[in-house]
């Protein structure tokens, strides 16, 4: 299966991945929408955390559009190898690292800060009640971070997790995008 980068220096470049019932690369129109919602000019020099990376297309899209660094987290070893191969193919091996790990365990050990966190778990997984509180309380986001969650109609995330609040949501066919940021507290 081929997935193409939609913008930036790698625009039009293809990622190859093997077909699988559990792999659903983010659709081109959804990636374009995410980039538009986040703001195309906001990719320059940011650090990105791509959770449930799958093909790695969301993180690679961010690198193509100017991100400084992407940490890819995916537990499937074949997919990890494919993302590592894609980084090498595109000459980006010095701009990202692939972690073959369980997302929930991995983020509890993070020390870095990220401007953009993308999450695209399998639509059938009801993981939001576990993962979103970990993201909300994690030391890797701050008031300037944006969290993008892709999900299906079923198993969708709530509108608020502690100070992490949904600021917008859009539907694209069977895919939904929810954008979150940290709310400001007084006191």
**Number of domains observed in the structure of the chain:** 1
Asked whether residue 140 is domain-assigned, the answer is: yes
Which residue spans within the chain are E strands per DSSP?
Answer: 2-4, 14-16, 47-51, 69-74, 96-100, 116-119, 146-151, 160-161, 164-172, 175-182
3-state secondary structure at position 16: strand
pLDDT tens-digit readout, 29-57: 777 777 777 766 788 889 999 999 998 99
pLDDT tens-digit readout, 61-120: 999 999 999 999 999 999 999 999 999 999 999 999 999 999 999 999 998 999 999 999
The pLDDT-based confidence of 155 (bands split at 50, 70, 90) is confident
What's the CATH code of the domain at 147? 3.40.50.150
pLDDT tens-digit readout, 159-170: 999 989 999 998
Asked whether residue 90 is domain-assigned, the answer is: yes
Asked whether residue 33 is domain-assigned, the answer is: yes
The pLDDT-based confidence of 174 (bands split at 50, 70, 90) is confident
Place of tokens 């930036």: 8
The model carries a pTM of 0.89
Report the alpha-carbon distance of residue 40 to residue 8 in Å, rounded. 9
Residue 69 near residue 48, CB atoms below 8 Å: yes
Of all residues in the chain, the percent with pLDDT exceeding 90 is 59
Report the alpha-carbon distance of residue 90 to residue 16 in Å, rounded. 12
The per-residue pLDDT for 85 is 94
Asked whether residue 118 is domain-assigned, the answer is: yes
Flag whether pLDDT at 186 surpasses 70: no
The per-residue pLDDT for 185 is 46
Asked whether residue 24 is domain-assigned, the answer is: yes
Give the mean pLDDT of the chain.
Answer: 87
Domain range spanning residue 125?
Answer: 2-182
Asked whether residue 109 is domain-assigned, the answer is: yes
Q: What are phi and psi of 113, to 5 degrees?
A: -105, 145
Asked whether residue 187 is domain-assigned, the answer is: no
């Amino acid at each position: 299966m081929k997935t193409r980068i939609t913008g930036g220096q790698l625009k039009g470049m293809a990622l190859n991945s093997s077909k699988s019932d559990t792999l659903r690369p983010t659709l081109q129109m959804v990636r374009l929408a995410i980039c538009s919602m986040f703001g195309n000019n906001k990719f320059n020099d940011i650090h990105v955390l791509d959770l449930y990376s799958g093909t790695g297309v969301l993180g690679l899209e961010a690198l193509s559009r100017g991100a400084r660094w992407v940490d890819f987290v995916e537990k499937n070893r074949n997919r990890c190898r494919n993302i590592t191969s894609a980084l090498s193919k595109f000459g980006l091996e010095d701009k990202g690292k692939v972690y073959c790990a369980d997302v929930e365990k991995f983020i509890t050990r993070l020390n870095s800060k990220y401007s953009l966190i993308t999450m695209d778990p399998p639509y059938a997984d009801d993981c939001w009640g576990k993962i979103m509180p970990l993201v909300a309380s994690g030391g890797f986001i701050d008031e300037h971070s944006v969290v993008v969650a892709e999900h299906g109609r079923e198993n969708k995330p709530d509108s608020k997790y502690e100070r992490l609040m949904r600021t917008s949501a859009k539907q694209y066919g069977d895919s939904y995008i929810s954008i979150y940021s940290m709310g400001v507290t007084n006191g």
